[in-house]
Amino acid sequence: MKVTNVREPTEEETEKMPKWSAELIENVQFIYELALAELELEAFGVDFTVTNSLRGFVLRNPPDVDTLVRRLAYFKTIGHRTTDYYRLTRYNRTRSVNQYLTHWIYPYKGKFHPQMIRALLNILKLEANETVLDPFIGSGTTAVEAQLLGINCIGIDVSPLCILQSKVKTESIYVIDEIERLREEAIASFKLSNRVHTLVVEEPVAKGYNEFLNSIDDDRVRDFYLMAKLVAISDRARRGRDIVQSFIKNLEQMISSVDDYERAARELNLQLGNVDIRQGDARRLPLKDESIQGVMTSPPYSIALDYVANDAHAFEAMGYDLDKMRDEFIGVRGRGETRIKLYNEDMTKSFHEMHRVLEKGRCCAIVIGNATYQQHKIKTIEFTIEQCEKLGFTLINNINKIIYGLYNVMQTDNTLIFRKDR
Ligand SMILES: C[S@@+](CC[C@H](N)C(=O)[O-])C[C@H]1O[C@@H](n2cnc3c(N)ncnc32)[C@H](O)[C@@H]1O
């Protein structure tokens, strides 16, 4: 229907409208981030102009300031108010600006940038109490960011290590008192298992660490302490650190981060979303047709990274057989041409599943890059667009992220935003 009785305001009328300024957070540096910041504002129906500094925006029409303060990812201030996101990033126990709250727990390769995920959840127009699906949840970035925004999240991954990380990052806040109560017992039993005896033993410790884990009734508390052990093992494997020292240091940092999360949620009065993390296969999602309001994911980048080999030490510590696990992982089966063929078949099935479970008219964001395998460039981005369009998705945004790393090595990946039109 054409609306005829609406006209653009005159310049004089516009001048009289309340103007709001919005300032980008200092860590926003790249063109793709500016593009996402603009898309965020558009998603909330804000009309804006960018000022000469390129870091300031003038908002018109007039904006719903409360919503912008609560939700935006790339902005530090709206008018004179500081955004929730900026305040959240202050609860950080690491030196990395984006590893705030529980995001840092476990050094997982291929993590999403949390700020970008928050922006994309806004761009996908997900409201509190709606549900986002990440069928390749990895280290749980989508789950934490959705939870902070009050959006429910279903996270699936084939890797038990990813399931553990995602659960620990989002569930520990509900059992922080019990976690703190067991801190000394955990340290004592870890020392015993690793044959370190303190000179002064206040209480005799009879349990080794595995026995200690088995004695914990609450799954969420047990997961937390299993994760603490795996963080220490990873530190030893990657940096050659003394395992007991590393365990104690990381455990303290993990507990402080969960405390921070609990405090941040209270201080900012956040209504946290529900998180449901399940081990499963993206090619066969255990979900009903059209039951999800948004998909936010990053699948394996073709065969760029061998997720099984990469986390081998953790899988072994968890008691898994690496060879048996491989069969379920996308992108690591077969060799040469067969590997690429299998990857394409598996991803086609996964795209089909994302499309099936998403409500019509809603959006799906896929972060993906092209990989090089045996000197051949594999066009995963083009393949993804082609397959998704065949299924009934329309590509509405294609945001290219190019980053030059050390020695000018270019890293590029794209964020593809599709809408399910049929
Ligand atoms: C690029 S990573 C995801 C990283 C994630 N976005 C994050 O922030 O940590 C891809 C993930 O796909 C998972 N994966 C591989 N094959 C899978 C399958 N068949 N079903 C579900 N997940 C799978 C891997 O375990 C890995 O965690």
Percentage of the chain modeled with pLDDT above 90: 70
Which residue's CA is the closest to the ligand 1 atom numbered 3?
Answer: 138
Residue that is written with structure tokens 């349990």 in the block: 207
pLDDT value of residue 345: 96
pLDDT of 418 higher than 90: yes
Which atom of ligand 1 approaches the CA of 141 most closely?
A: 8
**Which pair of tokens denotes residue 107?**
């050094």
pLDDT tens digits, residue range 97-144? 899 999 999 998 878 899 999 999 999 999 999 999 999 999 999 999
pLDDT of 375 higher than 90: no
CB 346 within 8 A of CB 392: no
CB 76 within 8 A of CB 82: yes
Which residue's CA is the closest to the ligand 1 atom numbered 7?
Answer: 111
pLDDT tens digits, residue range 171-183? 999 999 999 999 9
Which residue's CA is the closest to the ligand 1 atom numbered 22?
Answer: 157
**Which pair of tokens denotes residue 409?**
């090595």
DSSP string, 149-199: HT-EEEEEES-HHHHHHHHHHHHGGGGHHHHHHTHHHHHHHHHHHTT---S
Residues in the chain: 422
Burial state string for 331-352 with b = 16 or more CB within 10 A and e = fewer than 16: bbbeeeeebbebbeebbbebbb
Report the separation in Å between the CA atom of 377 and the middle of ligand 1, taken as the mean of its atom positions: 21
CB 370 within 8 A of CB 412: yes
Which residue's CA is the closest to the ligand 1 atom numbered 25?
Answer: 159
pLDDT value of residue 334: 83
Which residue's CA is the closest to the ligand 1 atom numbered 13?
Answer: 136
Which atom of ligand 1 approaches the CA of 328 most closely?
A: 19
Report the separation in Å between the CA atom of 155 and the middle of ligand 1, taken as the mean of its atom positions: 10
pLDDT value of residue 4: 43
* CA–centroid distance for 42 within its chain: 23
Which residue's CA is the closest to the ligand 1 atom numbered 4?
Answer: 138
- Cβ-based neighbour number of residue 419 at 10 Å: 17
Q: Which residues sit with their C-beta closer than 6 Å to ligand 1?
A: 108, 110-112, 135-136, 138-139, 141, 156-159, 162, 281-283, 298-300, 307, 328-330
Q: Which of 103, 154, 162, 279 to mutate to test the pocket of ligand 1 (most atoms within 8 A of CB)?
A: 162
Domains of the chain: 11-86 (3.30.70), 91-167+271-420 (3.40.50.150), 173-267 (no CATH)
Tell me the pLDDT band of 10, cut-offs 50, 70 and 90: low
pLDDT value of residue 304: 62
Report the separation in Å between the CA atom of 304 and the middle of ligand 1, taken as the mean of its atom positions: 12
Report the separation in Å between the CA atom of 138 and the middle of ligand 1, taken as the mean of its atom positions: 5
Higher pLDDT, 264 or 325: 264
Report the separation in Å between the CA atom of 310 and the middle of ligand 1, taken as the mean of its atom positions: 13
pLDDT value of residue 390: 98
Which atom of ligand 1 approaches the CA of 346 most closely?
A: 19
Which residue's CA is the closest to the ligand 1 atom numbered 12?
Answer: 136
67 exposed, middle or buried (CB, 10 Å; 0-12, 13-18, 19+)? middle
pLDDT tens digits, residue range 201-218? 555 567 899 999 999 999
Tell me the pLDDT band of 406, cut-offs 50, 70 and 90: low
Which whole number is the average pLDDT over 251-273? 98
pLDDT value of residue 78: 93
pLDDT tens digits, residue range 28-43? 989 999 999 999 999 9
pLDDT of 412 higher than 90: no
Q: Which of 109, 157, 284, 348 to mutate to test the pocket of ligand 1 (most atoms within 8 A of CB)?
A: 157
As a whole number of angstroms, the distance between CA 183 and CA 259 comes to 14
pLDDT value of residue 302: 63
pLDDT of 387 higher than 90: yes
Report the separation in Å between the CA atom of 282 and the middle of ligand 1, taken as the mean of its atom positions: 9
pLDDT of 169 higher than 60: yes
pLDDT of 2 higher than 50: no
Q: Mean pLDDT score of the chain, rounded to an integer?
A: 90
Report the separation in Å between the CA atom of 312 and the middle of ligand 1, taken as the mean of its atom positions: 15
pLDDT tens digits, residue range 61-93? 878 999 999 999 999 999 889 999 999 999 999
pLDDT value of residue 5: 47
pLDDT tens digits, residue range 299-353? 987 666 778 888 888 998 898 988 888 888 998 888 888 888 999 999 999 999 9
pLDDT value of residue 205: 62
pLDDT value of residue 369: 87
Which atom of ligand 1 approaches the CA of 138 most closely?
A: 27
Report the separation in Å between the CA atom of 209 and the middle of ligand 1, taken as the mean of its atom positions: 29
* CA–centroid distance for 234 within its chain: 20
> What's 293's DSSP letter?
E
Percentage of the chain modeled with pLDDT above 70: 91
Report the separation in Å between the CA atom of 325 and the middle of ligand 1, taken as the mean of its atom positions: 13
